[in-house]
Every structure is written in C-alpha cells, then in structure tokens.
Structure 1
Amino acid sequence: MNRFILLFALCFHPFALIAQQPVPVKPRILISTDIGGTDPDDNQSMAHLLMYNDKFNIEGLVSSPSYGSGTKGEILRMIDLYEQDLPKLKAHRNGFLSPAYLRSVTKQGRRGNAPYRGYSKATEGSDWIIKCAKKKSDQPLWVLGWGGLEDIAQALHDAPEIQSKLRVYWIGGPNKKWGANSYAYIAENFPGLWFIEVNSSYYGFFSNNNILDSVKTTDYYDKYIQGAGYLGKDFKSYYNGEVKMGDTPSLLYMMDGNPENPARESWGGSFEHLSRSPHVVFNSATRITDTVAFCTVVEFNLKGPEIVIPQDSVCFWMETPYKNAVQKWPGYYLGKGRYGLKYVPKQAEIVSYRFRSSIPNVDFGEGKLTVTNHWPGKVNNTDYKLGANWYSDKADPALYEGKIQGGKTLSKWRQSVLTDWAARWGWLKK
C-alpha cells in the first residue's frame, strides 16, 4: 500500500483497522425474534446468525411477534437455507451447529402484544426460556431480544427465580413502542434484571454518514453477497438487498470482548448505567406543552363510565398518523370506571392523536405530545427505578450519529464488521 494512503487511513479511519477482541468463553444465547412480521431486517440478522453460529452455543430460537404475523415457520425456512449452504461453511470452520439441532430448539412464542398488565399465558417459547435458564451451568443465559419482550416477561412472571440466571440485550426503539406493556411489567417488577436496553445506538450500524467508509450498506449486496449460496440469494428479498440488520448489534456485542462489561468498546456498542426508566402518567389527553423523552413509557390513566366487560379487555384505541395510514394502540378497561393505555414514542417529534371507542360515552378526546431527542430526559416521580445492572445508550452528545443517540459507539465499527462478514460470504461463492 502507498505510504501516504496508509498514513491517511490510520489518521482518519483507525477503527476499521482494530482487530476484534477475544471473547472469554463461547456464550450461551437464546434469540427472541419477530422474524416474518412487518420488518424484514430480522431475516437479514438471522442470516448473519446462521453464518456465525460457530461462535455461539445457541439454546433457543423463539418466535415472539408482538406485532405482525411472524411464526417459527419463518425461522425453520431460514434453517433450511442454511442447511444447503452448510457444506461450504464447514469447509472453513469447525463448530457449526447441525440443522436438526437448530430445528429442535426453535419454539413458538406469543403472537401479539401482551395486555395492560404485561403478561398473559405461558407459551412454548416462554417455557423454553425458563427451561434453558434453569440448566445447570457456570454461565448465564444471554437472551437477545429482536422483537417484543412478551415471552421474556411471561417467563419472568412464571418463574421469577430465573432473573439471576439471565442477561438480556434488547433492541428497543420500535419494539418498545409495540410492546410497551411487557416492557413496563419488567421494568416495574424486575428492576434487578441484568438488562441492556438499546433504544437508538443500533441505528448507527446501518447509517452511511461516514464518507470514509469503503464498505457501504447500500451497495454491499452487489459487492459481496450476490451469487453467495442460498442464504445470499434469499438476502435480496429484504430491502432489495440493502443491509439494515437492526438486530445484529446484539450478536456483535457477544462476538467482541467480555459481554459482562457493557461500558467497553465493542462491535455491538458501548453503554452506560441507567438508574431510572422514564415513565410519565397523564390523567387526561395531553397538550403540546407536555414534553417527554423518546422511548418514555407514557401511561394514560383515565376515568370514564363503569361498563360490564372483563378487566384488561381492549375497549378503546389511541390513533396516530403514520405516513399515509393510521396506527392504533390498544387501551384497556381496568375496572370501576378506570381505563388505561401505555404508549411509547420512538423518536423526537410532535405526536398528534385521537382516542376512539365503539362503546357509548367512552370518549377521551384528542391531544398532542412533544417528544425530545435525549434519553432518558427529565426526572419524573413516576419513573421506574432500576437496579445496578440496567444499561442503555450513552447520552454524551459527542457520540450522537446525527440525531441518533449513542450511534457512534456502533457506526465506527461497521466497516470492520461488514468486511469480516464479506469473507464468509466469499466462502459461499466458491
């Protein structure tokens, strides 16, 4: 390499040249995913997981779609593709898991979000989380959340003694918006859980703001994936091959350094302790002067007529505009004329909404809410108080990637990550 070019790279893009750090022990992991639902980035992340599964002891693949129509059938379809590519992967590395084993640990979790109380009935997926957590092992079980927390919340409710056995790395953001009830249940009842709540940093993985990166998510498919086996052919089906993989940072975190230290620099981000999770309660529709941080649990506790329906039944909706459509968030009857709804805004904006119900005299009007871009925002006396092992996106303004809080703790590693993955795609082309 020309000396000037090498010096330029060292000075202006050092992170792409730093090697991956060793992991102390191959981790036990369980994936909870909404694959096959509304956001196809989980399929991209599943391809990444299958191509790197030699680095993990995978104990479970649970379909947990809090929103959308995902099922474990989509996980099994991806395993079928992996099976066809496996001979080429095994030619380069030992330790890849058998397709039969992966199918045996694939389980169906809850379909749809939890009711207001945050849990419902046990599922095959939640029971499997409990079974894996209770295995005799010197290692914790790392649960990597790519979707809602419904099955994790259900497992904790049914077997609270597993709390000390778990480590959770959760991609929040939109998943928190769709699964507000299960998140609130965990934060309120299990504040001592070891939990990394990633609400924004993960966006840094698929941003393309660093013009010095030679590896871009927009042309990565054409350069490295096209013609690479069955998984490569399938990859084109999601975002036309553009790399998003918003859940992959959870895997990267487990691949680079000691996962017991969230504050370290790692491919999967760097995080700081969170002593409280913002939670604001309103007793009526809000006004534009009401302000919360993004990813705050906004709880509406409203008074209305006493009606004869089962407690925790959906009986009204909060409607918010989204692009050219309307999103609807369920509200519940809590009994004795009380109504409740939890809503989580995922980004800085002014939210306009309208409450609607088909039940006569259940009308809570409409409102606006101002959402700011700094998590966790101002202190509220209703915030969830968290324990010593709850972590989240770093708040340092210098680490913002544009509007993305903590985004630079991930974006600076993207070129290293994608270059490493490109080598594995190359194995499938031979």
Structure 2
Amino acid sequence: MNFVFKTNLLLFLVLSTPIKLLAQKKSIDKPRILISTDIGGTDPDDNQSMIHLLMYANEFQIEGLVSTSFQTGTTKNIFEMIDLYEKDLPKLKLHAPNLPSPEDLRAVTKQGTTKEAPFKGYRNSSIGSDWIIKCARKQSDQPLWVLVWGGIEDVAQALHDAPEIEDKIRVYWIGGPNKKWGANAYAYIAENHPNLWIIENNATYRGWFMDSESPKDLKANAFFENHIKNVGHMGTDFRNYYEGRIKMGDTPSLAYVMNGNPDDPTTESWGGEFVKINHSSRTIFEGKSTIADTVKAYGIQEWRFRGPELDIPKDSVCFTMEISNQVWPGYYIGNGIYATRYSSKKPETASYKTSSAIPELNGHTGQYVSIKPWPGKKDKDDYDLGSNWFGDRPDEDLFLKDQQGAKTISKHREMFLMDWAKRWEWLQN
C-alpha cells in the first residue's frame, strides 16, 4: 500500500467517522478515576479536595466517588458537595461544556466501609468495595486509577474478593496518617498483593500545603483571599474548612494524573515524583519495645504479646494500646498470641501503654523511636514488594523539614495554584 493511498484512506476514515463517535473516543481517552474519600471525618481537607476535583471534572472519566470514613462521614457529605457544584455549574459550563452532570456524579457515589480492618486486613464487602470491582472489570484500554484519600480498606477488600483486578487498577494512596489508621489493611495488601501498581505517598503530599518557601501571594491564606473568597457557591463554602486556608492534602493524587506522565512515577508531575521500592519496612516486637528500639517512620510496627490460649475467634479485640493519646485495638491471632499494628506518620519518639481485662496483657509500657528515611535499608521483617510499588523520594535535599519528598510537589506550587485560579475566575462573572 503506497503512502498516497494510505493517506487518502486515513482521510476518508476520519471524514466518514460520525462526529458522535469521535467525541466518544475523546471522552474515552480521559483518565478513568475512582475516588475513595474519608470526607466528613475529622479532617475537613477532603471537602477542599472535593471542590477542586469537581472544578476539574471535565478532565476525567469519574467512575466512582466512594465514602470510606471511620468517623462520621458518609455519602451524604459527597452529595452536599455535588449540590454546591450543581449551583455553580451554569457558569462553569460556559468555559468547560463537557463537565459531568450532577445526576451522573450522584449515580456513581457509593457507600464504602465505615470500620477499620481487623488484624487480618479485611472484613466484609461494602457497596463501595463492590463498586471498585465492577469498575475495574470494565472492558477498557485504560487502567482504573483508584485515588485513595483516606483508609485503604475498600481497596484491600476489593483485592481480597476479586484478586484478578490487581492488574487492572493503579492506586495512588495518600498514606502517612491514613496508613496509621489503616495499618492492617495495608499489611494485607503488601503481603498478599505485592505486585499491585501503587504509589504510596506517605509524606510527599505535604508539599501541597507546606508553603514556607512560597511567595506571599501564594501562601495558603493569601490564595483564599485573592482567588476563592465569596466566589460562587463553592467558594463561599470553602471558608468552612480551615477558614479557607489551603490544605487539600489529598489533591496531589488528582494532580498526579492531571499533569505529567502518570505511567512513570519517577518523573516530575504536579502530584510528586517517586522512587521504585522493593520492600516496605516492618518491625515485629516479640513483647515490649524500648527507647533503644529504632524503626522507620511510615513503616509497620507490630507488637506481639503472649497470653492465655482462649477459645475465641481470631481477630477478637482483647486489649488496647494507647500511643500519643490515641487508642488502638489489639487482637487475638491464635495460639495464645495477641497483637496490634501501628504506623508512625512522621519521625518521632513515642510511648505506649496497654490496657486489658486479661492480666497478661494489661499494663505493658514501652517506647520506640521512628526515624527517616522510609523505607530505609531492608530488614528481615520487611514486606517484599514487586516491580510496581513506588514511594517518597529519600533524597535529603527534597525534604521540607522532616517531610520526605515534599519538595517534588512544592516546586510546582505556582503552576498548579495559578491554573486553579483561572477556574475560579470562571465563577466571578
């Protein structure tokens, strides 16, 4: 087939393709995303991130908005944000006519789990975890990007219930404090699905809101005053979260697929730059730990205590461990062994104390020191990972204070904030 004939044939095919089909192909090329959010919980930054998502919704195929909160959050909190979006939509559509309808967004809003995973790492399926499976199983040339803004429990449940979806999804998880609360679900994934494609962002995300290096007009309070304050219904609502001060710690997951090459996490993007890791740090204490015990920040810490062999189901809660004024459940894992997991959200020195009606488990005290960088040198207890697991850059010059890799996001602050400012201008007229 000569060049002229091929060229004419290609031109004929393009001209003869219905406009509707071309539009559909353009839509299909948009990244497929599913958000798992703990909106409505104790940290209102998810509300800020949801407003940002809705203002950029024309850039994606939004296949799911899953509520996964262990406090008070439910789908009601997502619907409230969609209601605000609906009021601002007429002005937004003048500039972005392909923004999704509020009805379509409500249709993909699903309730996920409302409980942390027990020691085994999964519990029962939820509407949200089933929705992840359904979306992942769709016939598509693209992966499903699962952007996790809170606990990773629904992802762990979906992988447990349908392990074949492992190679159909790509996960970007805002870890750190979420890993602390979701240590059991994380442990399940790391141990049973080490080949999952995942960006584990434990500290890099903080570059989105740590504005110590920003010029005055781009600092968190100034940006609100200059671009968001009283602009549209979403801008008016924005003040309700941190009095308008920009945090949006989950937004880097969205920004990652917005700008850069999402197929390669080792390259620059608005959502950070990451390094491939082949292990995830874990330390198992057989009994107490002391101030002499050093662990990796963001790693999994697991304490195991011996007690009576009871005729009770595994994963029964039999003791609690208080760390830094927060209380964590401890479980019976069988054969007279009781255990709890924890993950420090930053480098720290901390103390713990156990409480239980079982004498052998009551009153244990100890300490530990967590250090940077993560995951550090490989140790015997670490989880072995496959070739598609990525973590925060460990380079010292990329830290913001003690936050690993944060400068890989903060360096783009002017670009991503001013791009967002243009969208706020759409609502000013």
TM-score normalised per structure 1: 0.92
* Cα pair 2:297 2:343 within 8 Å, conserved: yes
Q: How far apart, in 2, do the equivalents of 1:178 and 1:414 lie?
A: 29
Answer with 1 or 2: which has the greater Rg.
2
The AA in structure 1 aligned to 2:428 is K
Give the equivalent residue in structure 1 for 2:127: 124
Deviates more, 1:254-263 or 1:181-190: 254-263
Give the equivalent residue in structure 2 for 1:30: 34
Shift of 1:212: 3.7
What is the correspondence of 1:8-27 to structure 2 with a 5 Å cutoff?
25-27=29-31
Give the equivalent residue in structure 2 for 1:16: none
Q: How far apart, in 1, do the equivalents of 2:362 and 2:308 lie?
A: 10
Give the equivalent residue in structure 1 for 2:397: 398
Percent of residue pairs bearing the same amino acid type: 55
1:184-232 CA distance string (max 9 Å, x none): 0000000000000000011011011214464111221111111211111
Q: Judging changes above 3 Å, is the alpha-carbon distance between structure 1 residues 308 and 148 closer, same or farther for their aligned structure 2 residues?
A: same
Give the equivalent residue in structure 1 for 2:247: 244
1:46 aligns with 2:45: no
* Cα pair 2:349 2:369 within 8 Å, conserved: yes
| SS, match of residue 170 in structure 2 | strand
Structure 1: segments with no counterpart, 5+ residues: 1-23
What is the correspondence of 1:206-221 to structure 2 with a 5 Å cutoff?
206-212=209-215, 214-221=217-224
1:415 aligns with 2:418: no
**Would you say how many aligned residue pairs link Structure 1 and Structure 2?**
403
| SS, match of residue 184 in structure 1 | helix
Give the equivalent residue in structure 2 for 1:318: 321
Deviates more, 1:293-302 or 1:184-193: 293-302
Shift of 1:94: 2.2
Give the equivalent residue in structure 2 for 1:273: 276
What is the correspondence of 1:132-147 to structure 2 with a 5 Å cutoff?
132-147=135-150
Determine which structure has the larger helix proportion and give its number: 2
| SS, match of residue 224 in structure 1 | helix
**Off by >4 Å, runs of 4+ in structure 1:** none
What is the correspondence of 1:77-226 to structure 2 with a 5 Å cutoff?
77-212=80-215, 214-226=217-229
* Cα pair 2:217 2:223 within 8 Å, conserved: no
Shift of 1:338: 1.0
1:15-45 CA distance string (max 9 Å, x none): xxxxxxxxx9410000000000011000000
Q: How far apart, in 2, do the equivalents of 1:94 and 1:336 lie?
A: 62
1:378-416 CA distance string (max 9 Å, x none): 321110001110001111111112221101100011111
Q: How far apart, in 2, do the equivalents of 1:266 and 1:257 lie?
A: 4
* Cα pair 1:214 1:415 within 8 Å, conserved: no
Shift of 1:364: 5.7
TM-score normalised per structure 2: 0.92
* Cα pair 1:197 1:393 within 8 Å, conserved: yes
Shift of 1:182: 0.2
Give the equivalent residue in structure 2 for 1:11: none
The AA in structure 2 aligned to 1:394 is R
1:90-117 CA distance string (max 9 Å, x none): 0111210000000000000000200000
Structure 2: segments with no counterpart, 5+ residues: 1-27
